[in-house]
């Protein structure tokens, strides 16, 4: 299941995971299949685990903030993501 429909949803990203805004509620421990959009328009497909979820107030631009930890990604995709993050 992918949850990131717009680039703006990703708040912080590292080689280990990311923090995102979403209107969907996910339980910690849930596993998600997702595509991470790279600046050149390509996507990196990976699996991530929900580490934490914080509900946001009604004035926020999303209902929840979610912390994800990457748990499975092809080695080539890890290199592509690392390359983007280091530039």
pTM: 0.84
Q: What is the pLDDT of residues 12-27, one digit of tens each?
A: 899 999 999 988 889 9
* Model confidence band, residue 79 (pLDDT cutoffs 50, 70, 90): very high
**Considering the domain boundaries, does residue 1 fall inside one?**
no
User: CATH number, domain at 29?
Assistant: 2.40.10.220
Higher pLDDT, 76 or 4: 76
Element holding 55 (H helix, E strand): strand 43-55
- Phi/psi of residue 29, each to 5°? 95, -15
**Considering the domain boundaries, does residue 55 fall inside one?**
yes
Count: domains in the chain: 1
Judging by DSSP bridges, how do beta strands 64-73 and 43-55 pair with one another? antiparallel
**Considering the domain boundaries, does residue 64 fall inside one?**
yes
**Considering the domain boundaries, does residue 36 fall inside one?**
yes
């Amino acid at each position: 299941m992918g949850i990131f429909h717009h680039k703006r949803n990703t708040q912080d990203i590292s080689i280990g995971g990311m923090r995102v805004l979403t209107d969907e509620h996910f339980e910690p421990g849930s596993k998600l299949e997702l595509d991470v959009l790279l600046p050149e328009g390509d996507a990196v497909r990976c699996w991530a685990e929900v580490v934490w979820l914080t509900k946001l107030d009604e004035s926020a631009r999303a209902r929840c903030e979610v912390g994800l930890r990457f748990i499975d990604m092809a080695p080539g995709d890890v290199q592509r993501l690392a390359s983007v993050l280091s530039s």
